[in-house]
Amino acid sequence: MAATIEKELEEAKAKWQQTQQELDQTKSELHDVTEELERTQSQLDEVLGELEQTHFELYQLKEKGEQQQSESDGEVKQELAVTKSKLQETKQLWEESQSQLGETMGVLEEYQSQIEQTMAILEESQGKLQEKQEELEQVKAELAQKQSGSESELHKQLEETKSQLRETEQLLDEYQSQLSETMEVLEQSQSQLQQAQLREKQEQQQPRLDSELHKELEETKSQLRETEQLLEQSQSQLSETMDVLEQYKSKLEQRMEILETSQSKLQQKESGLKQEVEKNEQLSKESDEENRLFKINNAIVKPIEIRGKWLGGVIFPKNMPEIFRHRRGGPPDQEMVYMDQNVDANNCSDRHIDTSKTYNGTYIYAGPFHPHFGHALTESIHRLWAFDNNLHDGVVFAVSLRRNSKPHKYTPPKWFIETLEILEIPLGKCIWVTNDCAFENLIIPEAGSELSLGLKQWYRPYLEKLQQRILELTSHLRKNKPEKLFLGRNHLRFSGSLAGDKYIETLLLNEGYISLKPENYDLLEQLAYIMNAKKIIFSEGSAIYILELINYLEAEIACISRKPSNKPFYLHIHTKCRNYIVAGNAADILPLGNWENKGIKSIPVSKNPHLIIQSLRKHNFALLKDWDENQFLAEENHDFMAYLDEVYNFLTNQDSVHRPGIVEKYLQIRGIVQDNLISKVSESKPPKSRSDRLNKFASINQSSRYLEIGVSKGLTFNAINIKNKVAVDPQ
């Protein structure tokens, strides 16, 4: 097909070159005609000058005759007066002829200018055709690579060329009309000259008394005849010009027919090419989707049990490509971690499979489901792009069960049911695997995004379509929503919120930020807040993973770290917003406490909190004019001590020896970074004895709001009105 198009373009190019040669020849002929008309005008000017001279001489002869023949007959005078009148009429006729010829020359000059414009348009058209040839060659190359492309631009340019040629035809019609009018004017001039000649013949019949006057009249007659001949020559040249223009118009019409034929063929080729491209794109899309699906017949799916590793999920064959497995980004020294286990179905005993849970038909495997907001949105929804309600019988989730829990009928959290509604996944078609189940046909799609690995480019069109749906669903909710949001965690018990971040939150609220607590809103309301925001600051946590439902947000996002690495968030967010920063240095974060196995997160402390403020200022998130580092450290100290008290009140059997070690670690951080905080302890060396630790502990807490010292609660150490005081460990 590309070879045929190239051949037709070569033929069209040859025809255009031939047309260009003919147009150049026509331009040359028109130039010759213009020169001839200029010569004719010059000759007419000379004749007019001679006529004026003749008139002057006749006038002198008349005066001389009047002087010499003052006594002659009155009839001679009358004849001379008549002759004078006729000569004046002749002069007027010549002046009119000169004016008409001047107009004719102006028309011809305008015609020549328009012809030159037409030539320029045709040259421009030829240039555009050459550009079209280059574009078609580019289309040919693209077809050779992927058999795709579009000739809409070529079609548009051909339409423009056709329009320009039609305009040229209209101009030629106008020129023909103007030339016809010019011919009529010349014919009128010729008629007037013939009338003048007839009058001269009548004058010849009258008796002449003066031989010199008769001779002058004969010369005038001769000059008039010459003028008539010149006019006839001009008429002949104009007729030839009209013939040339007719030929030029005929050639243009032929070229128009050729172009229309070429355009028709190109449209047919374009239509066929467009259909072929669409077909190829559809085949390519289907092929890509097929390559992103892995089918297992008679598949077994187990519930998820977390015992250090994730046990359960779909039992996959060894030949299943890795892109279909449950993966996460690993620590810095390990690029990727595989969470699932390669368990061959032959190793599974039938007695572990609930035979009542055998599903016939074709199902989509969504992946593991953990009832944690962050894990669910990063690991349980990004395979659902492949679900088709008309083709598939359901969606399979491998539920994460608590250790030693018994299988039961599972109901997902309300926020995940709302997520399924947004994704247009019918809840009735969801199968929550809490017991080993068998599926006749199970399709495992490639995940469009993976935890700590981020978004894949091929997945973006699906997310863009989903985002458009979310925009429609939240159109009535986004009105009057604030543009600056803060997503904190300090209101959540044992949430691992940064010590002192309540102070930062207060400063942000003073600058117009709204503190959003997502758990107080349904999912669409949360999305309305997020999609309307222009600046978002969040304390590192799962709330920001609501962006997993969005392709791109026209906003700036800042993260206040709680962990030494921001990888699980950076890879998910930085390509989805205008600008993403980590406020401060994540490496400055030091988690204190070690009760993760009891469900209590550590409390993180920032070694250099002022860097957080500098980052927010530098990237125009906030001015934070009221920032006071000493005040922040006092808030941090209060948060730290309140955290310890709450942990030990919650864990009644916790070993109290562990507590001083955590306090000592905190003191070491602030002893190095903020010496001025330790106002009564000058040495930087950490205390080793128990009494030294207690005294230092009491000294530091002089600046905090609350302190437990023995039975005195709510008072600082200095506020206790006792002469001799000692700090007592409550444990």
What are the tens digits of pLDDT across the range 424-466? 999 999 999 999 999 999 999 999 999 999 999 999 999 999 9
The more confident residue out of 2 and 598 is 598
What confidence score (pLDDT) does residue 346 get?
44
Please say if the pLDDT value at position 613 is more than 70: yes
Helix (H, G, I), strand (E, B) or coil at 398: strand
Provide the mean pLDDT of the chain: 77
Helix (H) or strand (E) holding 419: helix 414-422
604 touches 590 (CB < 8 A) = yes
The more confident residue out of 490 and 197 is 490
What confidence score (pLDDT) does residue 601 get?
84
360 touches 403 (CB < 8 A) = no
Give dist(CA 576, CA 389) in Å, integer. 29
Residue corresponding to tokens 């590309």: 2
Mean pLDDT, rounded, for 523-528: 98
Question: Shortest CA distance to 560 belongs to which of 490, 488, 637, 640?
Answer: 488
Least confident of 32-36, 185-189, 360-364, 489-493: 185-189
What confidence score (pLDDT) does residue 123 get?
67
What confidence score (pLDDT) does residue 572 get?
96
Mean pLDDT, rounded, for 479-484: 95
Domains of the chain by residue range: 160-202+224-278, 293-452, 461-627, 655-731
Mean pLDDT, rounded, for 494-500: 87
- Band of the pLDDT at 266, cuts 50, 70, 90? confident
What confidence score (pLDDT) does residue 577 get?
97
Q: How would you classify residue 584: left for phi > 0, otherwise alpha for psi between -120 and 50, otherwise beta?
A: left
Residue corresponding to tokens 């049990």: 305
Please say if the pLDDT value at position 333 is more than 70: no
For the record, the structure tokens of 110 come out as 């305008």
What distance, in Å, lies between the first and last C-alpha atoms of the chain? 89
What confidence score (pLDDT) does residue 686 get?
45
What confidence score (pLDDT) does residue 132 get?
62
Helix (H, G, I), strand (E, B) or coil at 674: coil
Helix (H, G, I), strand (E, B) or coil at 58: helix
In the DSSP assignment, the letter for residue 94 is: H
Give dist(CA 113, CA 116) in Å, integer. 5
Please say if the pLDDT value at position 66 is more than 80: no
pTM of the model: 0.57
Please say if the pLDDT value at position 703 is more than 50: no
Helix (H, G, I), strand (E, B) or coil at 603: strand
What confidence score (pLDDT) does residue 75 get?
61
Please say if the pLDDT value at position 482 is more than 80: yes
Helix (H, G, I), strand (E, B) or coil at 583: strand
Among residues of the chain, what percentage have pLDDT more than 70? 56
Mean pLDDT, rounded, for 523-552: 97
Please say if the pLDDT value at position 49 is more than 60: yes
What confidence score (pLDDT) does residue 579 get?
97
Give dist(CA 385, CA 424) in Å, integer. 10
The more confident residue out of 183 and 303 is 303
Please say if the pLDDT value at position 708 is more than 80: no
Give dist(CA 726, CA 245) in Å, integer. 118
What confidence score (pLDDT) does residue 178 get?
63
Helix (H, G, I), strand (E, B) or coil at 164: helix
Residue range 461-627 forms a domain whose CATH class is alpha beta
400 touches 306 (CB < 8 A) = yes
Please, which residues have CB within 8 angstroms of residue 185's CB and are 6 or more apart in sequence? 100, 103, 104
What confidence score (pLDDT) does residue 721 get?
65
| Other CB atoms within 10 Å distance of the CB of residue 429 | 16
The pair phi, psi for residue 606, each rounded to 5°, is -90, 125
CA R_g for the chain: 50
377 touches 368 (CB < 8 A) = no
